[in-house]
Structure formats: structure tokens, C-alpha cells
Amino acid sequence: MTAKKRTRPHRHHAVTSSQVTANIALRVDGEPLALELTVPGGAATAQQLLSALRSLTDQLVDAATRKEEASGRIVSCRKGCGACCRQLVPIAPAEAHRLQKVVDALPKARRSDLLARFAEARKKLQSAGLLDTLQDFSPMAQERRWTFGLAYFRLGIACPFLQDESCSIYHERPLACREYLVTSPVAHCAQPSASTIDCVPMPVKVSVALHRLESAQDTASTNWVPLIIALEWAQMHPEATPTISGPAQLESVFELLGAAQPAT
């Protein structure tokens, strides 16, 4: 993130017995933003920060979208257009644990259907020789990541949460999904390439900050999980006991976003 795109927060905190609400004033790409983010006051898991981070992401996305529209570039994503839901989606470990809880809370029939979709996707990945790479979690160079992503996309594996070409867990969708919008024609999404897809540029990405936050807290853990194997990963990797307070982690998120320290 360049200095011109720096997100500058000024925070005031209101504390309850178990929650801390931060009133935050931001300036992103010259546009002022004001929002409230509520996090646990005591030690918290990264998963418990997700509600606040989703709110932050949504407002940053709205700001980026307004900037595009002011330049005559209109977001072409619409309900019922699910081409991007066949891409390889990187999510944070906290989001994998959250998705596991979402699925566990579903009615039995719906849960069984979803688990069957995940299992079928796993079989396709294994047959295509991509599963081992997905389970490796090693960092990939940009070029290899792009090539692997295209190979994954060509398999046409729909996100198990996709129903009638729409997200069935829209309010629970990962940060990376929230941050991905395009202004190029919808028809190009079926066969994406660097020359045909115009993404809405994000000045900062909360998804990346969350990945880095978790990686810094647990160096033995991965900093991303492919959504398509998120449930099995979450079952194999129990959530760690929290040791850092919600407010401290929120401060770290802004630092990872390249934010300046608040004025005192």
C-alpha cells in the first residue's frame, strides 16, 4: 500500500463488561469513512473478530465501488451470476473454523447435502491431481499461484455453498469473496484472464491482514486455507486458546493494513 492510499484511523473506545466498541474515523484514498467496530474486551480468537472485520471490509468495498462508479465503471456482479464461485478462494483459518460452525448449525438435511458437495469436490480435485497441492499450504510464487488457480477454475467445481448461482451463506461469506468485484462484462467471467477481467481495486485488503494476523500469532499454523477443503482442515486443526485481547488484535489489523497510529 502506498502512502497515497494509506488508511488513517482515529479511534475512541467505549467499554462494556465484555465488549469494546471503537468509533473509528478513516480516510481511504481521500474519502472519509466513519464506522463502529465491536470486539471482545478480553482475550479473543480471531474468529470472534470476524463480525467487526466483515463490517470494516464491507465499508472499504463500498468506498472502492463508489470511486469506480464516479469514474464511469459500474460493478457488473449481480445475484445469479456465480462464475467467480468456481475460483480457488483463500480464506483465513478463523474463517474455516467459522464455516464449520455454520455448517454444524444447519438442519440435518441441508448439512448432509453440503457435506456431500464437499466430498464430491474433494474427489474431483484428487482425480485431477490438485488435492495434494491444496493440502500442502506452502507459499506459492505469484505466477504459479495464477497458473494453479486457472487449473482449478477449469475443473468447474462450484463452491458447495452455491445454490441457483447465488451464495447460500451470503452474510457469512469470507472476506476474500466480499473484496472480489468486477466492472468488466459478466460474459468474461466464464473464461477469466488478466486481460479480460477488471477487478474493483481495493486500497487495502482486510482478508490479507487477517491472514497475516493469524500467521503472526501462530507461526506453526498456515496463514490461509482453501475454502473447498475448509471443513476437513478445521476438524483437523482445533482453534487455539485465545491469549490476546480483542482491542489489541484490532490494533494489529490496522497496523497490518498499513494504518497510522491514532492521535493521542
The pLDDT tens digits of the residues spanning 47-101 come to 999 999 999 999 999 999 999 999 999 898 888 888 889 999 999 999 999 999 9
Q: How far is CA 77 from CA 83, 85, 182, 236, in A?
A: 10, 12, 6, 35
Residue 226 near residue 134 (C-beta atoms within 8 A) = yes
Residue 14 near residue 21 (C-beta atoms within 8 A) = yes
Residue 93 lies in a domain: yes
Nearest-angstrom CA–CA distance, 262 and 264? 6
* Cell reading at 197: 477481467
Closest CA to 148 of 158, 137, 159: 137
Residues 6+ apart with CB under 8 A from 264: none
Q: How far is CA 157 from CA 24, 96, 193, in A?
A: 40, 18, 18
pTM of the model: 0.88
Residue 194 lies in a domain: yes
Is a pLDDT exceeding 60 seen at residue 125?
A: yes
List Cβ<8 Å contacts ≥24 apart for 128-133. Answer: 128/155, 130/155, 131/229
Residue 261 lies in a domain: no
State residue 11's pLDDT score.
52
Nearest-angstrom CA–CA distance, 127 and 234? 23
| Residue-wise pLDDT tens digits, 1-22 | 333 334 444 455 554 448 999 8
State residue 264's pLDDT score.
28
| Segments forming the whole domain that contains residue 124 | 3-256
Residue 99 near residue 230 (C-beta atoms within 8 A) = yes
Residues 6+ apart with CB under 8 A from 66: 31
Residue 262 lies in a domain: no
Residue 264 lies in a domain: no
% residues pLDDT > 90 (the chain): 61
Number of domains in the chain: 1
* Cell reading at 233: 482442515
